[in-house]
Structure 1
Amino acid sequence: MSCFRTQQKKEKESKMSTPAIRRISECFVKPRSSNKICNLAHWDIAMLYTNYMKGCLLFKKPATLIHEHNFKQNLLEKLKTSLSLTLSHFYPLSGRLLTHKTQNPPSYTVSIHCNNSDGARFIHATLDITIADILSPRDVPPIVQSFFDHPKPLNHDHHTMPLLSIQVTELVDGVSIGCSMNHAVADGISYWNFFNTWSQIFQAQSQSENHAYDVPISRQPIHDRWFPNNCRPPISLPYKEHDEFIERSEKPLMRCRIFQFSAESIAKLKAKANSESNTTVISSFQSLSALVWRSITRARSPPSDQKTTFRLAADCRSRMKPPLAEEYFGNCLHVVSAEATTKELLKNGIGWAARKLHVAVTDLNDRVVLESMEGWLNSPFTIQMGRFIDPYSLLVVGSPRFNMYGCEFGMGKAVASRSGSANKLDGKVLSYPGREGGGSIDLDICLLPHTMSALESDEEFMNAVTEFDPLLF
């Protein structure tokens, strides 16, 4: 307890000494044409209760951006121009949510309308801290949350607010490009397709003298939402008001920390998991997930007969028949799970846990997805994270396959990535690729303070962690 109090004291002192962020300017960016309507699929509607997806990339500030005039002309204006061109391809992000309600019978439909919308919000802010101030602390510092728009509201709240907000925060020696995207509009694959396309258009425009408007893109988004044969859009919820399916609650204090795993460390975990299971089919990510499941369960110290659950948000695009294209823009996720008692999980080793996760993932097919969808259509609900994660479960989202560090905006490769406070609950784990590549993985783990302290003392877990110094890049 004394260690926790010491940590709280340090955090309090840090907050007192941390300068406040200043918003310099704010405007809206629109595509050339966006007079369209987009119905939400059941995957999208289920996300109305959750928070915006938030991620930022931290770049070292080049010498060409040191002066204020150059920063505005060489970065901000080019970001706005390329964003407008990108929104022409990703037009739903320029729209607003619109609800249509009827009383008898009760009906509640939500769709995306781009007609006469203001577009996406673009914010320029400054903060008098360095990249080291962000990356050096053991835990992700609270100041990172100021890099994003939409601090607390739910996806459903933003009927008059932009579905996409970009915040460019100028630091002493760096630049943060933060993106907040409504999770009812898109999932992580769509999010990073947008980010990568924006980067691609930015670079093409920077190399073009005439700034042509016909920049070709490598992955054209597909906006026709998928609906089962027995479902005609728009999907109607059997409610009269949003408070019948939207609940709000206060979140307890959490610690969030980035743990880095080198490709070599993960290869050792994979070899061990496959050897213990006498197989070769267990993947690197399943092996790492097994380590996380076992280690956090051990840190929580539940009773030996307590059931623990590992949940993983899996992409359904390739699992549908016929498969949906990776460019499908929207949500296309299904949560798979594996269960075990504490005794089973800790007695049997990493290979046993990894095998259970492998089976859970490989068993996911279009039949499972369609059955789940049919159940949802018969009894619609929105995902409520507080109920979705119990004190003995984990939820892993994101993917180490996202091309996060392929996004460049004239400042070279990002030195680090950080996420916002969205849906940060005890047992939430965000996975993404390591900066050094080669199969390395970073995990953004959120836990109750005492559980995080126990995890940091877990020998098996910490022996697999490989801490890199991003300031060396």
Structure 2
Amino acid sequence: MSPMLNVVQVFKVSPPSTLKNQSLPLTFFDIFWLLKHPIHHVFFYEVTNLTTHHFVNTIIPTLNTSLSTTLQYFFPYAGNLIIFPTRTKKPEIRYVQGDHVNVTYSECNLHFNDLTGNHPRNCDKFYHLIPSLGPCAKIDDDYTKIPVFSVQVTLFRNHGFSLGFTVHHSLADASTQIGFLNAWASISQFGTDELFLSRNTFPFYDRVISYPIQDVEALVVTNVESLMNREYHVPHLCGPTNKVRATFIMTRSEITRLKSLVSTHLPSLTYVSSFTVSCAYIWSCLAKSCKSELEMLVFAIDCRARMNPPIPATYFGNCGKPCICRLDTIVLKNGSFIAIAKLIGEELHKMLTNEGGVLMAKAPLSEVRLRTKTSVAGSPKMNFYNMNFGWGNPKKQELISIDYEGSISMNACKESNENMEFGICLSTTEMQAFARIFNDGLEEKI
């Protein structure tokens, strides 16, 4: 069946008019993401017998009103990324009264139950459910203005709806994003911001991260002023593709037994965590099933609690340091789970125990661009399945932006916080091989 998408209504949702103009300068953590692809996330909510009338008269006004209220506390989401023509002036997120979030409400004929399964599904089906950020604007020769957040809500009549987000990565990392979504979900579910206010989880906007040298280095590497000299378009996924996406689950008992296996073979390895063994296992399966050689595994370490002194958990923006693991060709071809776990554990230990702090650990980003790699998006500590906007928790969540570079998404499971859920994007042939190796390997190892 050919996908059919009908736009029902489009809104420009702004914070309350009492919100004043304000701006937030970017740090080197944010600047790194300026030219990268945005984050696309889709949540599916099952609402049986959902009609167009209920969608238009209940869901739309509820989400619009609660989003407006939420934006008064998370003003950068309603603002724009401002890029200046010189490196002497750092980019910033700027909110000016009248700025808004584009919210599109649509209806489609795709199969809800198919999209919310774990089995392989065509990647391009999901692209109909994510919004674009909208056009950039060059304001004379003073600056370029780039939208940073947009929303699309799509009705699956008689089944439910999806809630799709596109976020410019320079705006927020996963920790900030989950804080924003938790606030919006709470305000939407209860019709008031009282519970959000009582939790005292306001975003922390103070730019306590002050490393001028690293800011300058990030601006140089990004060549940020080039955005003023050329037509810039935020990347957006489109089909058709020859890729499929599937979800794989690792239970707590499977993860525990993998940790035990690693500890038995590598008794001196200090860092044997759930993250270590699960990433090692997934990467070993990819190495055996994919034609291309995956030379690097890259993931971010949240630095909030690891700064000196630590900064609040609600710090707004990006605050992640890339950890880069390299494997030689022989290990990759063999797909050795133990060897990969050793590498990840050692790299994590090296970064987290660096004498100069986690920020001083070397991460040669220029080398990353020259090699084939797998990136990990998310963390076992993240649980997006708690996002109840008033219609129950999501039936399924998908991180669509892993399709850009063939990354891996990682998240706590809906059924249990102790289980882990992985999203994988591969060709059909590679996915079939990966699924077989993944399932057979767990049976052998446990």
TM bin, normalised by shorter chain, reads 0.7 to 0.9
SS of the counterpart of 1:184? coil
Partner of 2:410: 431
Partner of 1:55: 41
SS of the counterpart of 1:121? strand
Q: Does 1:274 align with 2:263?
A: yes
What is the CA distance between 1:422 and its match in structure 2? 5.8
Please list, as runs of the form range in 1=range in 2, the aligned pairs for 1:287-436 lying within 5 A after superposition.
287-300=277-290, 308-344=295-331, 349-365=336-352, 367=356, 369-371=358-360, 388=369, 390-391=371-372, 393-421=373-401, 424-426=404-406, 428-436=407-415
Please list, as runs of the form range in 1=range in 2, the aligned pairs for 1:228-307 lying within 5 A after superposition.
228=210, 230=212, 240-242=225-227, 253-278=242-267, 281-300=271-290
1:148 to 113, 130, 135: 130
What is the CA distance between 1:200 and its match in structure 2? 1.4
SS of the counterpart of 2:85? strand
Deviates more, 1:25-34 or 1:108-117: 108-117
SS of the counterpart of 1:335? strand
In the superposition, relative to structure 1, how do residues 54 and 154 fare at CA in structure 2: closer, same or farther (>3 Å)?
A: farther
Deviates more, 1:256-265 or 1:41-50: 256-265
Partner of 1:222: 204
C-alpha distance in structure 2 between counterparts of 1:240 and 1:337, whole Å: 28
C-alpha distance in structure 2 between counterparts of 1:59 and 1:109, whole Å: 40
Residue identity (%): 21
C-alpha distance in structure 2 between counterparts of 1:254 and 1:131, whole Å: 19
SS of the counterpart of 2:344? helix
1:53 corresponds to which letter in structure 2?
I
Deviates more, 1:189-198 or 1:71-80: 71-80
What is the CA distance between 1:194 and its match in structure 2? 0.7
Partner of 1:471: none
Q: Does 1:30 align with 2:8?
A: no
C-alpha distance in structure 2 between counterparts of 1:25 and 1:127, whole Å: 13
What is the CA distance between 1:368 and its match in structure 2? 5.3
SS of the counterpart of 2:58? helix
In the superposition, relative to structure 1, how do residues 164 and 126 fare at CA in structure 2: closer, same or farther (>3 Å)?
A: same
What is the CA distance between 1:119 and its match in structure 2? 1.3
Asked if 1 retains the 8 angstrom alpha-carbon contact of 2:135 and 2:147, the reply is: no
Deviates more, 1:257-266 or 1:189-198: 257-266
Asked if 1 retains the 8 angstrom alpha-carbon contact of 2:37 and 2:404, the reply is: no
- Cα distance per residue 1:216-273 (max 9 Å; x no partner): 3442111123433546989865665327898999998544322222223222222222
- Cα distance per residue 1:6-57 (max 9 Å; x no partner): xxxxxxxxxxx23311111111111121410111111111101112211111
In the superposition, relative to structure 1, how do residues 255 and 60 fare at CA in structure 2: closer, same or farther (>3 Å)?
A: closer
What is the CA distance between 1:316 and its match in structure 2? 1.4
In the superposition, relative to structure 1, how do residues 201 and 239 fare at CA in structure 2: closer, same or farther (>3 Å)?
A: closer
Asked if 1 retains the 8 angstrom alpha-carbon contact of 2:295 and 2:329, the reply is: yes
In the superposition, relative to structure 1, how do residues 447 and 68 fare at CA in structure 2: closer, same or farther (>3 Å)?
A: closer
Partner of 1:132: 113
SS of the counterpart of 1:197? helix
In the superposition, relative to structure 1, how do residues 255 and 462 fare at CA in structure 2: closer, same or farther (>3 Å)?
A: farther
In the superposition, relative to structure 1, how do residues 448 and 390 fare at CA in structure 2: closer, same or farther (>3 Å)?
A: farther
- Cα distance per residue 1:412-445 (max 9 Å; x no partner): 121110122466224x111112111141111112
Asked if 1 retains the 8 angstrom alpha-carbon contact of 2:378 and 2:410, the reply is: yes
What is the CA distance between 1:340 and its match in structure 2? 2.6
In the superposition, relative to structure 1, how do residues 276 and 110 fare at CA in structure 2: closer, same or farther (>3 Å)?
A: same
- Where structure 1 has 5 or more consecutive residues not aligned to the other structure, the ranges are 1-16, 377-382, 466-473
SS of the counterpart of 1:219? coil
What is the CA distance between 1:143 and its match in structure 2? 1.9
TM-score by length of structure 2 reads 0.83
C-alpha distance in structure 2 between counterparts of 1:248 and 1:433, whole Å: 29
1:83 to 67, 70, 75: 67
- Cα distance per residue 1:296-341 (max 9 Å; x no partner): 1122367xxx883222222111211111221111011111122232
Asked if 2 retains the 8 angstrom alpha-carbon contact of 1:140 and 1:258, the reply is: no
Partner of 2:431: 452
C-alpha distance in structure 1 between counterparts of 2:97 and 2:236, whole Å: 35
Partner of 1:4: none
C-alpha distance in structure 2 between counterparts of 1:47 and 1:156, whole Å: 20
SS of the counterpart of 1:363? helix
SS of the counterpart of 1:216? helix
C-alpha distance in structure 2 between counterparts of 1:41 and 1:447, whole Å: 34
- Where structure 2 has 5 or more consecutive residues not aligned to the other structure, the ranges are none
Asked if 2 retains the 8 angstrom alpha-carbon contact of 1:41 and 1:226, the reply is: no
C-alpha distance in structure 1 between counterparts of 2:194 and 2:134, whole Å: 38
What is the CA distance between 1:346 and its match in structure 2? 6.4
Deviates more, 1:248-257 or 1:438-447: 248-257
In the superposition, relative to structure 1, how do residues 450 and 212 fare at CA in structure 2: closer, same or farther (>3 Å)?
A: closer
SS of the counterpart of 2:327? strand
